[in-house]
Amino acid sequence: MPAEAPSDPVSERHSRSYLVSESAVRSSVAAVLFDMDGTLIDSEKVWDRSLVEVLRWLGGTDLSAEARRETLGGNLASSLAIVFREAGVLQTPELTEQGARMLVDTTAEFFEAGLPWRPGAEEALRTVRAAGVPVALVTNTGRFLTDKALVGIGREHFAVTVCGDEVPRGKPAPDPYLRAAELLAVPVGECVAVEDSPTGIAAAEAAGAAVLAVPCEVAIPPGPGRVVRDTLVGLRIEDLAAVRSVVRERIRA
């Protein structure tokens, strides 16, 4: 005869968390939400080359360091606006459409050729999946290019994928993270987001997820909503649980 189900789901969860560490992690981290560019794959450099190509087509020469920083983690529209600004060219609808097509086509060629993993990223995906914690891909990149990247990354890693062109507002707005949590049917406040850029971190923190920041192109300063780590190499599922508990305690304080 099965034991009677506990009447209080909170105390049930609490008592279960002492049984084994894996179930403790499952109960404390509802899902892990991974950014793509710069977090899982080393694609920011590819975006950079594509943006410079559009800039030169507009008569510019090279992106300033500040413009490069601004485009990190951005979406196609925001990055294109920066390129037009850097070139000193008025962004007409016609030029914008041509520039967007050039940006997508150039980037697609790079994505199809395959992109290198960021250190430890592939193993981190496997670790989270092996622990039975749902994984989402949450990217500002559009669906067309994301699907190309997913051929190399492996679609099977993700319970859901959310792209920048599938939500009303891309990162740094919280929309992509809120949508991922909604699709997974988990509270976003019980999720850990893994991000590399200030734009992505702003989105995840605005959504209410605890953030594991793994810097790629620019340094990430400490903040109450995040834990900064050099790389994903050696990431354990317990480390993700620790990120959530550290952030939760800081926010309560």
Q: Which residues bind Mg ion (CB under 5 A)?
A: 35, 37-38, 73, 196-197, 200
- d(CA 80, CA 98) in angstroms, rounded, equals 11
Which residues touch 172 (CB under 8 Å, ≥6 apart)?
73, 198, 199, 200, 202, 203, 206
CB-closest chain residue to Mg ion: 38
Neighbours of 251 (CB within 10 A): 12
Minimum distance from CB of 139 to Mg ion (Å)?
A: 8
Q: Which is nearer to Mg ion, 70 or 196 (CB)?
A: 196
The number of helix segments (H) and strand segments (E) in the chain equals 11, 6
- Please calculate the CA angle 17-21-23 and round it to the nearest 5 degrees: 55
Q: Which is nearer to Mg ion, 80 or 202 (CB)?
A: 202
Q: Which is nearer to Mg ion, 200 or 215 (CB)?
A: 200
Minimum distance from CB of 225 to Mg ion (Å)?
A: 16
- d(CA 148, CA 150) in angstroms, rounded, equals 5
How long a stretch of residues is the chain? 253
CB 175 within 8 A of CB 185: no
Minimum distance from CB of 59 to Mg ion (Å)?
A: 29
Q: Which is nearer to Mg ion, 99 or 176 (CB)?
A: 176
Minimum distance from CB of 200 to Mg ion (Å)?
A: 5
Minimum distance from CB of 26 to Mg ion (Å)?
A: 26
Minimum distance from CB of 35 to Mg ion (Å)?
A: 4
Q: Which is nearer to Mg ion, 34 or 84 (CB)?
A: 34
Work out the burial of residue 102: count CB atoms within 10 Å of its CB; fewer than 13 is exposed, 13-18 middle, 19 or more buried: middle
Q: Which is nearer to Mg ion, 203 or 243 (CB)?
A: 203
- d(CA 64, CA 81) in angstroms, rounded, equals 14
